[in-house]
Structure formats: C-alpha cells, structure tokens
Amino acid sequence: MGLLNENDIKWMEEIWSQVEDKLAVVVKRSGIKIPYTTKDGVFVDKFAEDPSWWTNGFWGGMLMLLYEETKDEAYLALANQIEDRMDEVLHMVEEGIHHDVGFMWYLSSGLNYKLTGNKKAKTRTLMAANYLASRFTIKGGYIIAWNGTDRQGWSIIDSMMNIPLLFFASEETGYSRYKEIAIAHADKTLENFIRPDGSVNHIVVYNPETGEKLETLGGQGYEVGSSWSRGQSWAINGFAQAYHHTKDQRYLDAAKKVAHYFITCISETGYIPLLDFRSPKEPVYIDTTAGAIAASGLIDIAKAVPSHEKELYLSAAIKILKALVEKELDVTTDTDYLLRNGSEAYWGNKHLSIIYGDYYLMEVILKLKNISE
C-alpha cells in the first residue's frame, strides 16, 4: 500500500520477532492445552473444564498463524493434535454446538485446510458450517445465538464473525445456500444493530415467527443503549469480512460507519478502548481485546477503500497496535499470555489475559507485515 514508513515496518518486524520467540517457548510448555485465560500467568486448559467453550478454537488458530508465517512443522503437528481433541465437540450436538462454531473451527481447521489441503480439516470445517446453518430461522431471517428455547429470538453482533464460515462452505462446496444464509443474517444485522451514530447494540431480540424486532438488551455492556467496545469491534471486523466475500458496498459502508465511531472514542483514551464507551467515567475499565479485534478489521477496511481513504483506517490500526504494545504487551517467557487487561463483560471478569486478544494481536501484526512486503 505504500502507507507504512520504514520505521513502522522495522518496529513491527521487531515486535513480531519478540512475539514469535515467546510463543516458541509457550507452545512447548503448554502442549495440548486449549487455553482461555491464565492463572498466575500460566495457561489453564479450558477444554478440560468445558470442551464446547466458544474460545476453544483460538489456540489452534494461533498455532496455524505461526505455521503460516514460519513454516515450522512442529506448529502444524500440534495444531492437528488440538483439532483431534476438538472432534469430541462435533458430536455434542445438543449441549455443545452453538453460534460460535466459526470461532471454534474456521480459524484453526479452516486455515489448516487452506494452507495444507488437509481433508480432515476441511471436513471438520464443513461440519461446523452445517451446524451454523441449522441455527438460521427461516421466518425470522437471522442466526440464533446461544441455546435454549427461551432464546430463540436472540441474535448478537458477535455472529457477524461466524458467518465467514458459511461463505467458506459455499466456496468449497459450490452450494449457494450457505452464502444465502450468511447474507440474510448480515442484512438483518445491518438493519437492526447499527445505530444512527455508528454505535452498535450487542443483543437484539426478534419475534422468531415474523422477524420483527422486539427489543435490545445490554448484554455484555454497561446497560441497554450503551456501547460495549468489543461489540463495536466485532461489527467493524465482521462487516469488513462480509464485504470481502460479497463485494456488497453496504457492508463496507457499515464497517466504515462503526469504525468512525470507534476511532473517535479511542482517540480520547490513548487508543486503548474503554470496556464500554457509554459507561460512568469512574471506575475506568479497558478492554485490550476490543482494540486488537478492531485493528484487524480496520486493516481490512483499508484494503478495500480507494487509495485516498486508506490512510485513515491504516493509521488508526497502527496507533492501536502501538498503544497495545507499549502499554499492555508481555513478551517475557515467564508468562504464557501476550496481552494484559482483556475483559469478558462490564459486569463480568476484567483485567484478564484472554486468548482471543492474543490471536487478534498476532493477526494484526501479520496483516501489517503482509501489507508492507
């Protein structure tokens, strides 16, 4: 793109080298653990506690990113072991399968197949796509979030990050139904989640028989009508990916609209997002994961817009990355995590090292490296 200067490129390559060196140690120490967060700085095996936990695909995804960048077969071998372990969940249909199967398989098995042609990985990814497609309500026009008959009308912004799994399935099988479901859900989300100012609802409740919007819920934010930052970042990233797969300008415009709101908010806080942009000033809660996720989406926007627009989004992504690295990154080998101070929810656990923060931090660095090469 020609928008990264030599100092930025050199700095970014140094950060990646530090991350890579740390993870080489962490991978050997962690083995086949599938982590979510850490205890005393060391990964806890979330799979042993909850095999169907929604983040259980991110560690395999990180291993595949390492393999893609380094071509070290040891990372691929461990990723395959992790995927074998995850097979148990593919048979937990009632209690284990939910709307986040994209996170659980597309980032790991999907990339595995793209890079290696592994047919086993392809089968896993397509099975996950079938499960996600089965959650689409025909009358309502959306993908159902979570499980339980009392939540059949619930849809969440997070699911925009799972529909790339459906686009993948259409591309690989040639069947349009997967893509049609993804587009229908994206259209429904576009209509009902993004507010006029560019902020985003976390949860929208529909009438499952008619698709009528009944109410919005505060979800993981401060309250109804507030602005949970990770929800904003899911929207930026998810709509940017929807544009990539469809070239529908409405999706790119939606990603840009939310991005403008997000950039305005973080410019007031040193480019580290608050946990909720519409919460009380005190106490101050941040969410580094929201920053990493949004930065990844901003890079995708920069790739899609005309040349005179690119700098706005790419510059914001770099500023977020620099703030995260300077204030919240741990590249010592004493700990297993990369980013500090992730948050689950405003009324939930905070100040955590969370695996998806680390995943998207890696994704941001690698996307910027690829742009500069």
Q: Is it the case that residue 57 has pLDDT exceeding 70?
A: yes
pLDDT-based confidence at 373, cuts 50/70/90?
low
Q: What is the pLDDT of residues 334-363, one digit of tens each?
A: 999 999 999 999 999 999 999 999 999 999
Closest by Cα among 252, 147, 261, 135 to 198: 261
Mean pLDDT of the chain: 96
CA distances from 298 to 207, 257, 290 (A): 33, 11, 12
Give the chain's domains with CATH numbers.
6-372 (1.50.10.10)
Predicted pLDDT of residue 197: 98
CA distances from 256 to 100, 165, 249, 349 (A): 24, 22, 11, 30
What are the residue numbers of the active site?
100, 158
Predicted pLDDT of residue 93: 74
DSSP 311-371: HHHHHHHHHHHHHHHHHHB---TTSS-SB--B-S-TTS--SB--HHHHHHHHHHHHHHHHH
Encoded tokens for 344: 């689950």
Amino acid at 151: R
Is there a contact between 212 and 220 (Cβ–Cβ < 8 Å)? Answer: no
Predicted pLDDT of residue 371: 84
pLDDT-based confidence at 5, cuts 50/70/90?
confident
Predicted pLDDT of residue 370: 86
Q: What is the pLDDT averaged over residues 223-228?
A: 98
Q: What is the pLDDT of residues 73-107, one digit of tens each?
A: 999 999 999 999 999 999 887 777 899 999 999 99
Encoded tokens for 223: 């309250």
Element spanning 253, H or E = helix 249-266
Encoded tokens for 285: 């809660």
pLDDT-based confidence at 2, cuts 50/70/90?
low
Give the Cα separation of 292 and 304 in Å (integer): 19
Q: What is the pLDDT of residues 270-311, one digit of tens each?
A: 999 999 999 999 999 999 999 999 999 999 999 999 999 999
